[in-house]
Chain A
Amino acid sequence: MIENNFANNNSGESSSVQLRQLKPSFSSRFKEFFIRHLQVFFYSLGLLSRTPFATLMTASALGIALALPAGLFVILDHARQLSGDINSINQISLFMKKEVSKKTIDSIQKKLENYPEIAQVKHISRDVALQEFQKNSGFGDALKALKNNPLPDLLIVFPSLTHNEPEQINNLLTELKKIKQVDLVQLDIQWLQRLYAILHIGQRGVLIIGSLLALGVLLIVGNTIRLAIENRRSEIVVMKLIGGTDSFIRRPFLYTGFWYGLLGSLIAILLVNLSLIIINDPLAHLSSLYDSHLFSLGLMGINVSLMLLFSGCFLGLMGARIAVGKHFKEIEPK
């Protein structure tokens, strides 16, 4: 409507004047809209590549901010899976009194194996235990000097999977303590419960750290975009003078925020995976010492990576959006 005003006026008032307001066709504008978006998309990337050092510094700051919660999340996720595994192989150790004979122990084992709560009972005789200990501890020669084997017989009770809840285990425990030949009943359920509690705190911690660092990312991008707007103040004024709409002038800044977010999250993925690679070797060694199957944190899963990429880009865009919304209105031609 507005665009036609001048032209109408002209043709009405003066026949010698032939003015047509230049206006692209609708289909042309529609098509151009996407092409221009793409161009601005890459133009803003081009602007960033003109100052590679500054860009890399900002992107690295974003990367570190994103890597921290992401890395913690990966570790916590593994710890949770691992604790789940441990839970299913709950075991109770019954240390027998020294004077109990092998025959009595065999009968106790048989009796226990008939309990519905118990899946399996394994007997580790004091002789076998001593041999193991000599082999693994490195104190072999010192132990050989001992006249008597100091180790007790050991019955390892594996509760059945259907009786694996903490409460049921506790009931079983009181039951087992009643056996008078048993010296000591030991269950590692307490540390499991503590581990769960710690993991729970850890999850909250990741949430808090994640939120704080997400805010940090917003602030970093926001401030960077604010500076970019400040640097291009005269350009923005010129754009406004020649009829650029706010959304047109804003666009490169928003895409810049997006690129920062993308670069930042790519750097974060790199950092997290690098850290995992560094940790995995000693971790495998540690797990071999525990005689368990080789344990590894692996690399960052595709889901977590995608989540990180998405959050990075989103935060970058949001940070830019906030900066643009706050600092754009002040810049007007004078």
Chain B
Amino acid sequence: MIQFDQVSKRFQGGNEALSQVNFHLHPGEMAFLTGHSGAGKSTLLKLIALIERASTGNVIIGGKNLNRVSRHAIPYLRRNMGIIFQDYQLLYDRTVFDNVALPLIISGFSSREVKKRVHAALDKVGLLRFEKKYPITLSGGEQQRVSIARAVVNKPALLLADEPTGNLDPDLSREIMDLFMAFNQVGVTVLIASHDIPLINQLNKRIIQLSHGKLLTAGNGS
């Protein structure tokens, strides 16, 4: 599902955020991406989401070499991924329902379908009762669950999360991770950047470790 082949990323200014990274994440797999702050975790995820482009090497997602994806095709590619951020990235002038509905509206689903699927997604993250609320009135953990509902509402094959529990206390963090595990259970490929080592160790999943842009361990998968 995700294949990194000798991937390096050098930003303008000279520092190399990733150098010669190789790994392979199979469909249906779940892995954690760890490493110190500045190790290159976010950069790696951004390459997958085509927020950044690799300087050298190939990133291949679902059989598609991202070097050959034109700017115009990026939105369609992103519709196959759910992306989750530390700061949720919700739209605060819209209700929970409208936030979660956005990916479906973008893809052109009918209102009836939208309603059905948004309810299903909100139900999965346990927030159905909040659909008419505005995100600002929710707690951090609830806001993160709204963003997860939005990420999974069009059933993407791949979930990416960058420090999804970075702003949450341990109990809430565990709840969020359990949610990701549940999506992985039904076949979604999941890659989560996190440096919450104690929590990660509890979950017994593959760990991909970065240090100063280099791959330390690629875990059991590759």
Assembled-state Cα–Cα distance A267/B45 (Å): 51
Which residues of B are found within 8 Å of A3, using beta-carbon distances? 76, 79-80
* A2 and B150 contact, Cβ closer than 8 Å, known pairs A36-B108, A241-B49, A241-B83: no
Q: Does A107 contact B (CB under 8 A)?
A: no
Number of A-B residue pairs at CB separation under 8 A: 125
CB-based contact B28/A243 at 8 Å: no
- Place the interface of chain B in its size category: 35 or more
How many residues from A make CB contacts under 8 Å with B?
A: 42
Q: Is B132 an interface residue (CB 8 A)?
A: no
Which of A16-24, A156-164, A188-196, A301-309 interfaces with chain B?
Answer: A16-24
Q: Which residue of A lies closest to B81 (CB)?
A: A243
List chain B residues, Cβ under 8 A from A242: 78-79, 83, 102-103, 106, 150
Can you sample 15 A-B contacts with CB below 8 Å?
A2-B64, A2-B69, A3-B79, A9-B62, A9-B63, A10-B28, A14-B28, A19-B27, A33-B108, A36-B108, A238-B102, A241-B89, A242-B79, A243-B106, A246-B75
Residues of chain A lying within 8 A (CB to CB) of residue B109 = 24, 28, 32
The reply to whether B110 and A9 contact each other, CB–CB distance below 8 Å, is no
Residues in B whose Cβ lies below 8 Å from that of A20: 155
Q: Does B202 contact A (CB under 8 A)?
A: no
The closest CB in chain A to the CB of B85 belongs to A241
On whether the beta carbons of A237 and B89 are closer than 8 Å, the reply is: yes
Within 8 A of A (CB), among B107-144: 107-111, 113, 117
Closest Cβ of chain A to B143, distance in Å, is 13
Q: How far is the CB of B49 from chain A (nearest CB, A)?
A: 7
The answer to whether A235 touches B107, judged by C-beta atoms less than 8 angstroms apart, is no
Q: Given A6-B62, A16-B28, A32-B109, A235 and B91 touching (CB < 8 A)?
A: yes
Contact between B91 and A10, CB atoms less than 8 A apart: no
CA distance A232 to B102 in the complex (A): 15
Contact yes or no, B91 A240, CB < 8 A: no
- Determine whether B1 belongs to the interface, using a CB cutoff of 8 Å to chain A: yes
A17-B27, A21-B155 given; 10 more Cβ-contact pairs under 8 Å? A2-B64, A3-B80, A13-B26, A16-B28, A31-B110, A235-B91, A240-B78, A241-B78, A241-B83, A333-B51
Seen from chain B, the residues whose Cβ lies within 8 Å of a Cβ on chain A are 1, 26-28, 49, 51, 61-64, 69, 73, 75-80, 83, 89-91, 102-103, 105-111, 113, 117, 150, 154-158, 186-188
Q: Which residue of B lies closest to A238 (CB)?
A: B89
In the complex, the answer to whether A243 meets B51 with C-beta atoms within 8 Å is no
Smallest CB-CB A-B distances: 6 pairs: A243-B79, A6-B157, A6-B62, A243-B78, A17-B187, A29-B108
Chain B residue contacts of A29, Cβ below 8 A: 107-108
CA distance A150 to B71 in the complex (A): 91
Return the CB mask of A218-261 against B: 1 if under 8 Å, else 0: 00000000000000001101111111111010000000000000
A269 CA to B62 CA, complexed, in Å: 58
Contacts of A9 in B (CB 8 A): 1, 27, 62-63, 157
Q: Give the Cβ gap from A322 to chain B, nearest Cβ, in Å.
A: 21
Q: Which residues of B contact A238 (CB under 8 A)?
A: 89-91, 102
B111 cross-chain contacts in A, Cβ below 8 A? 35
Q: Complex: how many Å from CA A214 to CA B41? A: 51
Most-contacted residue by chain B among A9, A234, A243 (CB, 10 A): A243
A14 CA / B78 CA spacing, docked (Å): 22
Q: Are A332 and B28 in contact, CB atoms less than 8 angstroms apart?
A: no
What A residues does B107 contact at CB under 8 A? 22-24, 29, 243
